[in-house]
């Protein structure tokens, strides 16, 4: 890998071929520029109607220069790294298992860090989590060879997912009792459309 003026020059990198409904994230240096005059609005209700509204509000607030500076300071204090040492390590001293299992856990942890490119993107990952309040990734598995495990990890924009509670009910004597509650995620383009009105 060669570097020139802070840019790295790499050869063609072949990505693992796995199937995923999430498109790969493009890190080609194209950025959305926001600046100049900011508009202000007053929310009379003062409440967000859903997660989508909250995330949009947080992202709009992060565009203001004062808030952006504060977020940068928080991210820089939270993620401390240098060229010789990674920003995160896994601590297994309190885990009561043998050393071979600890070695496997450390090896898999390093593999996931490599898939996330965490050492180079730690600030960006933490900033996205701090602003949006959530971070989602899709684990891509090669369907032709599932034994290889996770071959790629793709970032999913939280605006593209909706979370809801799955509450199956057990019907006893005409009364509904909740068996368990799980949180489910649904991709926003897949959300069913509901027709309102009279049918023919």
Instruction: Determine phi and psi for 113, rounding to 5 degrees.
Output: -60, -40
Q: Which pLDDT score, from 0 to 100, does residue 63 have? A: 92
Mean of pLDDT values over 168-195:
53
Distance, CA of 198 to CA of 200 (rounded, Å): 7
More confident residue, 85 or 113: 113
More confident residue, 107 or 178: 107
More confident residue, 188 or 79: 79
Per-residue pLDDT for 73 more than 90? yes
Q: What does the mean pLDDT of the chain come to?
A: 74
Tokens of 97: 């298992």
Neighbours of 75 (CB within 10 A): 18
Q: Which pLDDT score, from 0 to 100, does residue 4 have? A: 61
User: Which range, 10-24, 35-49, 83-97, has the best average confidence (pLDDT)?
Assistant: 83-97
| pLDDT > 90 in the chain, percent | 32
Where are the domains positioned within the chain?
38-156, 159-193
What does the buried/exposed string (b/e) look like for 156-168 if buried means 16 or more CB atoms within 10 Å of the residue's CB? bebeebbeeeeee
Please tell me the least confidently modeled range out of 61-75, 140-154, 158-172. Answer: 158-172
Per-residue pLDDT tens for 106-158?
A: 999 999 999 999 988 999 999 999 999 889 898 999 889 989 989 999 998 88
More confident residue, 90 or 20: 90
The alpha helices in 82-170, defined as continuous H runs, are 99-116, 118-132
Tokens of 165: 């509670």
| Count of all residues that appear for the chain in the document | 200
User: Would you report the helix, strand and coil content of the chain in percent, each value rounded to 5?
Assistant: 35, 20, 45
Q: Which pLDDT score, from 0 to 100, does residue 168 have? A: 57
């Amino acid at each position: 890998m060669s570097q020139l003026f802070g840019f790295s020059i790499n050869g063609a990198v072949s990505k693992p071929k796995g199937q995923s409904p999430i498109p790969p994230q493009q890190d080609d240096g194209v950025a959305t520029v926001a600046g100049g005059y900011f508009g202000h609005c007053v929310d009379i209700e003062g409440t967000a109607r859903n997660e989508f509204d909250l995330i949009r509000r947080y992202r709009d607030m992060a565009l203001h220069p004062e808030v952006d500076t504060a977020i940068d300071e928080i991210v820089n204090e939270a993620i401390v790294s240098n060229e010789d040492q990674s920003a995160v390590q896994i601590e297994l001293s309190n885990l009561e298992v043998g050393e071979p299992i600890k070695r496997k856990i450390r090896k898999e942890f390093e593999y996931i860090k490599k898939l996330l490119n965490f050492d180079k993107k730690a600030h960006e990952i933490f900033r996205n989590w701090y602003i949006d309040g959530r971070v989602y990734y899709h684990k891509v598995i090669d369907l032709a060879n599932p034994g290889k495990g996770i071959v790629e990890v793709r970032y999913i924009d939280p605006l593209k997912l909706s979370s809801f509670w799955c509450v199956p009910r057990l019907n006893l004597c005409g009364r509904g009792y909740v068996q368990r509650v799980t949180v489910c995620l649904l991709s926003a383009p897949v959300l069913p459309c509901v027709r309102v009105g009279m049918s023919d």
